[in-house]
């Protein structure tokens, strides 16, 4: 990828980060039911492919590739993966005090991706090859 391609790639990851964050937050003036309908539709139609994009970005710009642009792409990809995994899949919107539970509930369609040994290995490899705060996000 050329420099412009890396910039476009980074921009795409930023857009996906913002999209996932916005789809997980209720909009003022909309009912919780309306928000859940949109969030569930987004979860079912696009969230898994966005998570897979984050994973493929992390693999492509792996833990051992270092330069400023690739590091920014890794930051955005880790952030995107984390946002996908923190998505309110079941509509419970746990309060902040329960944030340290350490478990997530993902749709059954995600099972193969989550159980693939390479997925966990990727996050641990990034943890081992990077410095905080990126390494912290890799195992969050």
Tens digits of residue pLDDT in 25-39: 988 888 989 999 999
Closest CA relative to residue 84, chosen from 120, 129, 52, 121: 52
For residues 72-96, one letter each, b for 16 or more C-beta atoms within 10 angstroms of the residue's C-beta and e for the rest, the string is bbbbbbbbbbbbbbebbbeeeeeee
pLDDT band at 1 (very low <50, low <70, confident <90, very high): very low
Tokens matching residue 61:
């710009």
State residue 79's pLDDT score.
96
Instruction: Please give the share of the chain, as a percent, with pLDDT higher than 90.
Output: 56
State residue 94's pLDDT score.
46
Tokens matching residue 8:
């476009």
pLDDT band at 100 (very low <50, low <70, confident <90, very high): low
Is residue 73 a contact partner of residue 1, using CB atoms and an 8 Å limit? no
Closest CA relative to residue 54, chosen from 73, 69, 37: 73
In this predicted structure, the answer to whether residue 89 has a pLDDT above a threshold of 60 is yes
């Amino acid at each position: 990828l050329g420099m412009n391609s890396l910039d476009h790639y980074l921009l795409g990851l930023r857009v996906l980060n913002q999209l996932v964050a916005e789809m997980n937050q209720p909009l003022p003036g909309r009912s919780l039911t309306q928000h859940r309908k949109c969030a569930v539709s987004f979860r079912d139609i696009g969230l898994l492919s966005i998570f897979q994009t984050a994973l493929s970005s992390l693999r492509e710009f792996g833990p051992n590739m270092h330069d400023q642009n690739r590091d920014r792409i890794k930051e955005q990809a880790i952030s995107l993966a984390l946002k996908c995994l923190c998505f309110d899949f079941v509509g419970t919107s746990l309060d902040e005090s329960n944030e340290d539970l350490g478990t997530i509930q993902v749709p059954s369609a995600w099972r193969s991706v989550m159980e693939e040994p390479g997925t966990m290995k990727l996050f641990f490899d990034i943890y081992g090859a990077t410095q905080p705060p990126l390494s912290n996000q890799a195992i969050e």
